[in-house]
Amino acid sequence: MSAATQESQAARAIEQLMTLHPKGFDLSLERITRLLERLGNPQDHMPPVIHIAGTNGKGSCAAFSRALLEADGRIVHVHTSPHLVNWHERYRLGAPGCGRLVDDDVLTDAINRVADANNGETITVFEILTAVMFVLFSEHPADVAIVEVGLGGRFDATNVIKRPATSVIMPVSLDHEAYLGDRAELIAAEKAGIIKRGAPVVIGAQESEAAREVLESTAERLGAPAVIYGQDFFAFEENGRMIYQDDTGLMDLTRPKLPGRHQFANAAAAIAAVRAAGFNVTPDIADRALEAVSWPGRMQKLTSGRLVELAPNGAEIWLDGGHNPGAGAVIAEALADQEDRNPRPLFLIAGMINTKDQTNYFRAFKGMVRHVFTVPVASSEAGVPNDELAVRAEEAGLSAEPIASVGNALSLLRETWDDTEVAPRILIGGSLYLAGQVLADNGTPPA
């Protein structure tokens, strides 16, 4: 029975692990290496791996890469984190035609085997769940595995892969400064830790010249052939289509299904990565992939569900879990693109956690948003109180007020909306925790 149709045994097993092991991150490879040795080193028995790091865009790159490979008929495993609603989202097992989220009984069995092998020794839950990924992906045949880094790169638990088919470093910006450093070049050095000697690396579009130089110099030092956005490949919009070009030539492609101009660069990085990993990408494959790609909680348009019914009639509702200033900038740009094509009054419903730069996230929307409703993030102990978050939004120059929930904000907009005015555009965002909360409350979890 699938994870979506039964009470989750896996979730109960993970909750039990959380009572035994420390929460959060403890960046080191010693514990995961010890555990994997006891499990027979499943990471050495994986299909070819596309290993993706970066501050922003790594999930989109994974989604585009999966779509490209499946459009070519490949069987593809995908590991992403964090999940939005259910733990099973972290593990998509490949199958002919299209993969699916791991079944609950399969995931529960893998969790129990990994926990038994650990035998109660000190470890983080993220490390156990990463070992579960290696076990699952080594035991189920596939043509390729896409593995997203959890945090950083150098000491991330996924970084025991000895020689990936290719590494990918997506845009680097400030996030998790307490763990990774407070300058882009320091964070880039941590992300560059996934580059392996002699293995190809794709360097996606970088906002910081200093970060790009760190990534390039690391690749050069390790003899890792580097494919660099803006130098070896690039993409741009022309007449409503996506133009991709690299040293093999030019492809005139359909516009990516994922909205926002930043997705052109993300899709381009995926094309470069799939090619660097040794797989085929033709214009037909790319077109089908760009039309089929899906990435829940990232500029996801909500068109139905319990929460949607509370909004003003005809409202356009977008959900995005981006939570740092860099993400705020690309989301704002995507909404500006929507405004150019279809003007509507814009409102923001935001919830954030206390490890994020809230004021600079909000600052990206200055001059665009009519009003901000700040809400609690009930699913995280680190959620910023909604009254405090409203102050952060006001510091960024926005009109803001705290409100009890996303549902209350949507209902208030509906009650007070003047039906003679065009229906609003609403962004719900600021946290992946909030995005998951919204998808669950709306009755539309990822599948």
- The three-class DSSP label of residue 330 is helix
pLDDT at 7 (0 to 100): 61
Report the C-alpha gap between 220 and 215 in whole angstroms. 9
pLDDT at 58 (0 to 100): 92
Q: Quick one: the chain helix, strand, coil %, rounded to 5?
A: 40, 15, 40
Kindly state the tokens that stand for 338. 């929507």
Q: Which residue has the higher pLDDT, 447 or 282?
A: 282
Rounded to 5°, angle at Cα 113 from 107 and 114: 90
- HSE, CB side, 13 Å, CA atoms: give it for residue 137: 32
- The pLDDT of 378-388, averaged and rounded, is 90
pLDDT at 174 (0 to 100): 58
Give 187-233 pLDDT, tens digit per residue: 899 899 999 999 999 999 998 899 999 999 999 999 999 999 999 99
Report the C-alpha gap between 131 and 126 in whole angstroms. 9
Instruction: From 231, 194, 234, 199, select the one nearest 215 (Cα to Cα).
Output: 194
Kindly state the tokens that stand for 401. 């007020």
pLDDT at 24 (0 to 100): 61
Cα radius of gyration (the chain): 21
Give 312-334 pLDDT, tens digit per residue: 999 999 999 988 888 899 899 99
- Tell me, rounded to whole angstroms, the distance of Cα 87 from its chain centroid: 15
pLDDT at 215 (0 to 100): 96
- The pLDDT of 338-345, averaged and rounded, is 93
Report the C-alpha gap between 297 and 200 in whole angstroms. 30
Q: Is the CB of residue 155 less than 8 Å from the CB of residue 130?
A: no
Report the C-alpha gap between 404 and 236 in whole angstroms. 41
